[in-house]
Structure 1
Amino acid sequence: MTGSDESDPALSELLEAVYHRYHYDFRGYAEASLRRRVAAAVGQLRCAGLAELRERVLAEPRMFSELLRYLTVQVSDLFRDPTYFRAIRERVVPYLRTYPSLKIWVAGCATGEEAYSLAIILAEEGLLARTLIYATDIHPESLRIAEAGVYGLDRFAKFSESYRLAGGRASLSDYYVAQYSSAILDRKLRQAILFSDHSLATDVAFAEVELVSCRNVLIYFDRPLQDRALGVLRDSVRRKGFLGLGAKETLRFSAHAQAFTELVPEDRIYQRR
């Protein structure tokens, strides 16, 4: 695929085929980003163009699994953007302490690092034992990785520095066991998290929670889908609960902005009115 060599209808036909055959809806994703990722898939999967990719996706479920890796953005780190997690610890946790039990939702959890980061914070603040964390994504392989809680050991030097900058109270090594080239996260963290499939494009709110964290997800949606997703997130946050979007996203131009007040403007953490 070489940029303008493929028309917009060809991309639309691929997305329609994916939706009707596999019930994954990418039709409202931002087109420029989606075209780049589909172009990469065409090249890596050795297809002549979008038409061949569509035919193979329809005929070969395994090809769809391969394509899904390109259509979804699976980038995550423990304590990615440390100021966000410091703000959760310092500004949100004091409110969370007032609840007898807690439910938290990490929407678009990718391979699970954000959910585990929140679990570590809650453990250090004495709240994990009364917390259930829902962590959802649309990519089955990422959810399998997340549920296992096993990551490359070579990533943990960076993770440890981010943990420190996020206000960590101990050593990150207290939360994993090194085994050869892998780090296996503590079982208590894994037991607090329920990983499951959920799509902000097609599904509805499934629980009332005290905190939703949904970062680096909405930037891949077009405006109508952003509003649709924000409506699902809004419906999930209980009154006086919290929504964390991170620095790259905002409620400012959303139809749902009036439902929230800004708590930490620089990290886009909001509180439900």
Structure 2
Amino acid sequence: MKGDIGNDDYRKLLDSIYHQYGYDFTEYAESSVKRRITHFMNGRRIGSCDELQAVILDDEGIFEEFVQEMSVTVTEMFRDPAFYKEIREKVTARLATYPVIRLWIAGCATGQEIYSMAILLKEEGLLDRTIIYATDINQKSLMAAKEGMYSLEHMRVYTNNYQLAGGKGSFSDYYTAKYNAALFDKTLRNNVVFSPHNLVTDQSFNEFQFIICRNVLMYFNQQLQSKVINLFDESLCTFGFLGLGDKESLLFSGRKDHFEKIDGIQKIYMKIK
């Protein structure tokens, strides 16, 4: 595709997607969405927004590929190790006071964060009484998360992250090498509920002691960020915890006074009212 996507064409495309499929991208950061749309069109030699609209409204399979393009799936295990180290040191002791711990990993992508938290909770003696709700808008990513198989070439980075995050054992004990892949121990996901969930349009579905949503809000505009923070606020129990990405904050949220900073650098908060 040559040239920029016009605002009218852009709005028309997103409105048509919302009306047919219920996916609302209108409050995502516009520059990011336009860049991803352009990449999608170039890869399939689609010449205009009107042509793209006709194709994805006619073919649900292509629309699923479009959602995959719109979704953020770049992640790694124990990404930003200091975040996990702070959870070990400042969050797990309070989580241990609950007979059942409900953890929501919102925007779980291909699952590296799920297994990272499962390993951490296992080492802290909390995994057996934790239910992890792993949700994402992208069904293909959810399938990859459920499979728990990742390229062996990433294991060196993942191992280093694990050690920096305060890992208490040998990271290789948690997976089995199989050909060029690492298959993570299925017991890590015994208490994981994998489910599609759209942060833009779906509602709260439980009460949680801990919600992690990292490097997702940064792709939303300010209005949508506030909406999602409200959703998290409504979903957390009093004294529950919220973990965001290092480029995200509660600064512009109307609910910021509902939270107390546990770690301002690692963006870990506790709900206080």
CA contact (8 A) 1:119 1:192 kept: no
Q: Match of 2:104, SS?
A: strand
Aligned-residue offset at 1:60: 1.3
Aligned residue for 1:37, secondary structure, equals helix
Residue in structure 1 matched with residue 154 of structure 2 by the alignment: 155
Gaps of 5+ in 2: none
For residues 55-74 of structure 1, the aligned pairs below 5 Å read 55-74=54-73
Equivalent residue, structure 1, for 2:129: 130
2:103 aligns with 104
Q: Name the structure 2 match of 1:224.
A: 223
Equivalent pair of 2:41/2:47 in contact (CA under 8 Å): yes
Q: Does 1:192 align with 2:191?
A: yes
Aligned to 2:253: 254
The structural deviation recorded for 1:3 is: 4.3
State the AA in 2 paired with 1:204.
Q
User: Structure 2: how far apart are the matches of 1:3 and 1:239?
Assistant: 50
Equivalent runs, 1:40-119 vs 2, <5 Å:
40-119=39-118
Mapped to 2, the partners of 1:225 and 1:240 lie a distance apart of 24
Aligned residues: 272
Measure the CA separation in 2 of the matches of 1:196 and 1:205: 13
Mapped to 2, the partners of 1:228 and 1:26 lie a distance apart of: 14
Question: In structure 2, what is the equivalent of residue 38 of structure 1?
Answer: 37
RMSD: 0.9
Q: Is the 8 A contact 1:84 1:166 kept in 2?
A: yes
Unaligned 5+ segments in structure 1 are: none
Residue 265 of structure 2 is matched in structure 1 by: 266
Residue 51 (structure 1) shift:
1.4
How far 1:192 moved relative to its partner? 2.0
Q: For the Cα contact (< 8 Å) 2:226–2:252, is it kept in 1?
A: no
Measured after TM superposition, the shift of residue 2 of structure 1 is 3.6
Identity of aligned residues (%): 43
Spell out, residue by residue over 1:192-224, the C-alpha distance to the aligned partner (whole angstroms, 9 max, x if none).
Answer: 211101111001111111100000000111111
Distance 1:3 1:268, change over 3 A: farther
CA drift of 1:171 comes to 1.2
Question: Please, which moves more after superposition, 148-157 or 103-112?
Answer: 148-157
Assess if the C-alpha contact under 8 Å between 1:77 and 1:159 holds in 2.
Answer: yes
- What does the per-residue CA deviation read over 1:112-163, in whole Å, with 9 as the maximum and x for residues that have no partner? 1111111100000000011000010010100000011111111111100000
| SS of match in other structure, 2:265 | helix
Q: Distance in 2 between matches of 1:163 and 1:2?
A: 44
Contact in 2 for aligned 1:83/1:166 (Cα 8 Å): yes
- Contact 1:109–1:115 (CA<8 Å) still a contact in 2? yes
